[in-house]
Amino acid sequence: MLSEKFRILQITTGTTWSGGQEQVYQLSKGLAEKGHEVTVICPPGSSLGDKLEKIHIPVERIPMRKEWDFLAVPQIIRVLIQRKVDLINAHRPTAHMLAWIATFFRKTRAFIVTRRVALPIRNPLSARFKYRFGVSKIIAVSQSVKQVLINSGIPSTQIEVIYSGTDLARFNPARADGTSFRKNLGLDLSQPLIGAIGNHSSHNFRGYPYFLEAAARVLQVAPQTRFVLIGRGTNSEELLALSKKFHLDPYFSFLGFREDIPEALAAIDILVNPALTEGFSGAIREAMAMKKPVVATWVGGNRELIQDGINGFLVPPADAPGLAEKILYLLNHKDLALSMGNQGHAWVREKFSIQKMVENTERLYEQVLQNNR
């Protein structure tokens, strides 16, 4: 517990729920419970804002349509003045840019940016100015994200790795029951169920087409297996068309966005993460917390989560045959699957809890504010 309490502003864009929104929620909640004054700026209609208001954390709803939305800047300045903000933590590029501009008119003691994606900074000018000038520290959610930032021209000394946290109370195998989830899919307890979880977009960074192709290969050997895909956009026309192409319709359920992720993870036997790029997967951490083995690509933060052959398997990206091979191996080696689940559970509890994420972020805030005193 720190002796000094701070006035902290978290600012983020996006209205729909995602892993990044979950982290902002948990961070804001954890900091408020430690006695800090936390305010969150988010857009109108934000699911994050709704959830924060329910736990009585102040929310300012400001439209932030693009990085040069000058109508948003005066409203952000108003919040900085009214709340007497010591420190800003910006999440997502648009929120970063607008808050950064606002600090030219209303200084704060510290400005921190959180980067969650393992994608290069596309504009070299952004790397030089927006991510360096006036920025106290950049939080990278994995070593992989840090390396991408370094490759984009950011000095390593400006970057601090703080791993995203997992809600171990919610993702608790002793509490969540997958029986009803399976029943609603028409499955009995003996049928293998393989799942992938995460929002889908047209960018295909999730690699779901390769998961569908892998499913078709698994079914050639183990036709009793069933598959489920969960996340916003996973019931898109594109994926449904691929399902028809691979003749998966009787074996595959496309469920779209769901709130009952702990129950879904309790129901599945193996989690698959076929991502083509990944910052630090929440679905993998949550599956491990639920004692499930994971088959994932060796991209980004996946390599920091999965110890290959110990708590899961890693395969090359865009490798459907490789995904299928490891899925079948786990289906045929249940003792290994059980061991991997137990190893993953211990790994997440030790390294990637919400408590550890909040404590490490609070400690960084204190260091930056003391250095800027």
Sheet holding 270-273, edge to edge: 252-256, 226-230, 193-197, 270-273, 294-297, 312-315
| Interatomic CA distance for residues 220 and 31, integer angstroms | 51
What are the sequence ranges of the domains in the chain? 7-165+353-371, 179-351
The mean per-residue pLDDT over the stretch 65-74 comes to 91
Q: What is the pLDDT of residues 80-132, one digit of tens each?
A: 999 999 999 999 999 999 999 999 999 999 999 999 998 888 777 766 788 88
CATH no. of 7-165+353-371: 3.40.50.2000
Angle of CA points 15, 20, 24, to nearest 5°: 85
Mean pLDDT of 242-260: 94
Q: How far apart are CA 73 and CA 244, in angstroms?
A: 48
| DSSP notation for 356-372 | HHHHHHHHHHHHHHHHT
Asked which of 172-181, 200-209, 359-368 is least confident by mean pLDDT, the reply is 200-209
- pLDDT above 50 (res 1): no
Residues 6+ positions from 353 with CB-CB distance below 8 Å: 165, 166, 168
Angle at CA of residue 46, ends 207 and 264, nearest 5°:
45
pLDDT of res. 202: 64
Confidence (pLDDT) at 50: 96
Alpha-carbon distance of 352 to 304, in angstroms, equals 11
Return the pLDDT at 14. 84
Same fold? 7-165+353-371, 179-351: yes
Distance CA 364, CA 178 (A): 39
Q: Is residue 247 within 8 Å of residue 164, measured between CB atoms?
A: no
The stretch 139-150 carries a mean pLDDT of 96
pTM above 0.85, yes or no: yes
Could you say which of 3.30.460.90, 3.40.50.2000, 3.40.1180.10, 3.40.50.1580 is the CATH number of the domain covering 179-351? 3.40.50.2000
pLDDT of residue 9: 98
pLDDT at 164 > cutoff 90: yes
Place of tokens 């029986």: 179
The torsion angles phi and psi of 104, rounded to 5 degrees, stand at -70, -20
d(CA 206, CA 239): 12
Residue 201 pLDDT greater than 80, yes or no:
no
User: pLDDT at residue 203 above 80?
Assistant: no
SS3 label, residue 32 = helix
Is residue 324 packed enough to be buried (19+ CB in 10 Å), middle (13-18) or exposed (0-12)?
buried
User: Who wins on pLDDT, 69 or 329?
Assistant: 329
Q: Average pLDDT in the 23-43 region?
A: 97
3-state secondary structure (DSSP) of residue 69: coil
Closest CA to 316 of 287, 340, 296: 296
Average pLDDT over every residue of 234-263 = 93
In sequence order, the 6+-apart residues with CB closer than 8 A to the CB of 260 are 181
Query: What is the Rg, in whole angstroms, of the alpha carbon atoms belonging to the chain?
Result: 21
pLDDT at 145: 96
Q: How far is CA 226 from the centre of its chain?
A: 26
Averaged confidence pLDDT in the chain:
94
Angle at 221 between CA 218 and CA 224, to 5 degrees: 80
Kindly list the distances between the CA atom of residue 118 and the CA atoms of 71, 95, 107, 205, 366, in Å, as whole numbers in the listed order: 30, 18, 30, 11, 27
**Comparing 201-210, 244-253, 272-281, 302-311, which segment has the lowest mean pLDDT?**
201-210
Amino acid identity of 139? I
What pLDDT sits at residue 302?
96
Q: Could you read off the pLDDT of 308-362 as tens digits, one per residue?
A: 999 999 999 999 999 999 999 999 999 999 999 999 999 999 999 999 999 999 9
Using N-to-C axis directions, what is the helix angle for 19-33 and 282-289, rounded to 10°? 70
